[in-house]
Structure 1
Amino acid sequence: MPAELLSADLLPLAFALVAAVLFAVGDQFQYLGVRSLDSRSGTMISIVTSTLCFWLLAPVLLDPALLTQVGILVFAVIGVFRPALSANLSVAGVRHLGPTLSSTLASTSPLFGTALGILWLGETLNWQTALGTAGIVGSIVVLSRRRGGVAADWPVWALALPIGAAAIRSLAHVLSKIGMVTVPDPYIAGLVSFTVSAAVLLTGQAMRRQRPRVLGSRSAVLCFVGSGVAMALAITALNQALLIGDIVVVVPVVSASPVFTMLLSIVVFRRERVSGRLVAAVCVVVPSVIVIALGR
């Protein structure tokens, strides 16, 4: 295989891997922030920070000519529900479940991506995809079991939070791929979607009667600012991977973020309790999404 072809094949995986690491960093910042600030306000801070990051780079990266293309409307539609809705679900999941468990369940996004491919694009279900799906579903079942009948330290319904975020993100991945057909610019894709999301969140915040208690939680605000910076970088890397690679290859690699989340929890933050059940779930989910990718 020529060196040029090898590099072209590995480049999407490299960008996806960078995105996975950055998403894991963002998860850890969110976990630190939600301890003293409600998830809705934290999400708003994070998304507004990401939006500001994109606009600060506009003088260098923005190509105004691309703003007249049809794909811009696709990015705007994405912004209505991602990251506004998906981030709210994700942060709420981190608050109730912790960063490792939440990101592990969020790694079910390849399952939803495969479902969209089958139902929307008419793709077929092969044995590799079926095996990977079974592994993911089995992990969710293991995580939701209550050991010895003793109540877990998180409610079962909270499992739906990161799973719902995963479903929304999968839809956004597909739409981003479609939008970048006419607007092949990962930066603009992030700029438009985050700007729309920020507008949605700020409008909703203005309509709330109870203002967020931000002034008393400066450390939490800084954590969500850090999460926003990490998210902006992660989305840009992810969009670049989607532009030059296939969804069925990129999304499973990005879903490896629980591995990095766990490593950060153990080595850097040293704050999360890692149980054998949790480790087993991560060890099953990650290979399962890889099997799905190989089967495609």
Structure 2
Amino acid sequence: MGHGDARSLSRDPRIGRHRTRGSARQPKHGLCSRLRTTRCSASRADREIGMAWFAGRLGETFAILSVLAFAYGGVSIAKAKLYGKGDGGVVLSVVFTTLLSALVWAVAGTPAGSLPGTPDLMIGLAWFAVSGLLATALARILYFMSVRDLGAVRGSAVKRAIPFFAAVFGVLFLGETLNSNKLLGLALIAVSIAVLVAVDLARRGGSEADAVASIGYAWGTASALCYASAYVARKLGLGYVPDGALGTFVGSMAAVAYYAFAVSFNARARTATFAALSLKNNWAVVAALCFSIGQICNFYAIQHTAISTVGAIQSLEVFVSMVIATVVLRTERAPGWTTIAAAVAATVGVLLVVA
């Protein structure tokens, strides 16, 4: 190539532009690479922070999952009542709880060789059995009876008494403490329960309806007391054997033994049990499955956080039940503003307890 050609090339504006652009891209590529590295590091740090936060709130997460399962199960009880007679799935739920908890323990539980020694193991299993009799047998029967008489929304509202019993038992038996936020939150929950019950009883005009409602609220209160007592037994058992799936399995087996004993000596219980296990009512099956999942999640929640916190989160069940019953499954009429306000007050109370 001659000198003339070289001069013509150097004067060509396109070549200058290409060279200028090419030389400008080099630092730009380096800057983009550094920006991508910085963004990746930031996103990795955000993920680590999120995982750390989630690990710190594992008990609360399981408690929320338990609320969702119990709420849908409670509405399914009311739905099952519309499609046939029976216990609404209470016996079937015990069977499902036993099978599911055994599966969870086999897959993700503590291996048998890693369990504690004999004294601690036997004490822990004994507490698990007590919790099963209190929650899976007595409390669940009483709650199903409460929902049968009151409906899903009002029946779950009475379960908001659980935080009071759980908080008192936690202080008395487990050495837990209550700060000002928790006390204020429990007070809000108490007011919401009182308002809801008072408004509901005032709205009912007939004496027969009043009697049924009173019995239903009595069943619900007794159920809440049994559930809170079961929380304490679970927490004590987990102190010896820290395995929620094993605890749920042992507790449900104790409940199965309770029903087997009742069937052996009571013909009416035998007939009701066989009818419940016939799987003829699809909504009873749904209720049983939901309560089984809720029971397992509740056990893991108690394993990872205080029982007063778990009890407070459980009080959100009335709000979730309200949405499912009136919007999703449409088993009940939309609640009035008083009921909604009471549910909001309970929600604020739960947030104060958990904070």
Q: Do they superpose with TM above 0.5?
A: yes
Bigger radius of gyration: 2
Work out whether 1:281 is the aligned partner of 2:342: yes
Q: Paired residue for 1:20?
A: 67
Once the two structures are superposed, residues 76-104 of structure 1 have per-residue CA deviations (whole angstroms, 9 ceiling, x without a partner) of 12122221000011100110111111111
- Report the CA distance between 1:216 and its aligned residue: 12
Residue 272 and residue 22 in structure 1: after superposition, are their counterparts in 2 closer, same or farther (change >3 A)?
Answer: same
- Report the CA distance between 1:20 and its aligned residue: 1.1
Give identity over the alignment, percent. Answer: 26
Residue 202 and residue 30 in structure 1: after superposition, are their counterparts in 2 closer, same or farther (change >3 A)?
Answer: farther
Report the secondary structure of 2:297's partner residue. helix
Q: Which moved more, 1:119-128 or 1:14-23?
A: 119-128
Q: Paired residue for 2:152?
A: 99
2: distance between equivalents of 1:83 and 1:216? Answer: 17
2: distance between equivalents of 1:139 and 1:228? Answer: 28
Once the two structures are superposed, residues 137-182 of structure 1 have per-residue CA deviations (whole angstroms, 9 ceiling, x without a partner) of 3333323333367235742232122222112111211221221122
Work out whether 1:85 is the aligned partner of 2:146: no
* Aligned positions, number: 292
Q: Which moved more, 1:268-277 or 1:141-150?
A: 141-150
2: distance between equivalents of 1:104 and 1:25? Answer: 14
Aligned CA RMSD, in angstroms, stands at 2.8
- Report the CA distance between 1:188 and its aligned residue: 0.2
How do 1:1-296 residues align onto structure 2 when only pairs under 5 Å count?
3=49, 5-35=52-82, 36-39=84-87, 42-57=89-104, 59-61=106-108, 63-65=111-113, 66=115, 68=118, 69=121, 70-121=123-174, 126-145=179-198, 146-147=201-202, 150-151=205-206, 152=209, 154-210=212-268, 211-212=271-272, 214=275, 219-220=280-281, 222-276=282-336, 277-294=338-355
Q: Which moved more, 1:135-144 or 1:267-276?
A: 135-144
1: distance between equivalents of 2:135 and 2:249? Answer: 12
Structure 1 residues without counterparts, runs of 5 or longer:
none
Contact 1:31–1:99 (8 Å) recurs in 2: yes
User: Which structure has the higher relative contact order (CA within 8 Å, separation 6+)?
Assistant: 1
Aligned residue identity for 1:282: A
TM-score by length of 2: 0.73
Residue 237 and residue 124 in structure 1: after superposition, are their counterparts in 2 closer, same or farther (change >3 A)?
Answer: closer
- Report the CA distance between 1:214 and its aligned residue: 2.2
Report the secondary structure of 2:309's partner residue. helix
- Report the CA distance between 1:6 and its aligned residue: 1.9
Structure 2 residues without counterparts, runs of 5 or longer:
1-45
Higher share of residues assigned helix = 2
- Report the CA distance between 1:111 and its aligned residue: 1.0
Residue 149 and residue 248 in structure 1: after superposition, are their counterparts in 2 closer, same or farther (change >3 A)?
Answer: closer
Q: Which moved more, 1:241-250 or 1:13-22?
A: 241-250
Q: Which moved more, 1:25-34 or 1:99-108?
A: 25-34
TM-score by length of 1: 0.86
Contact 2:89–2:288 (8 Å) recurs in 1: no
Residue 125 and residue 33 in structure 1: after superposition, are their counterparts in 2 closer, same or farther (change >3 A)?
Answer: same
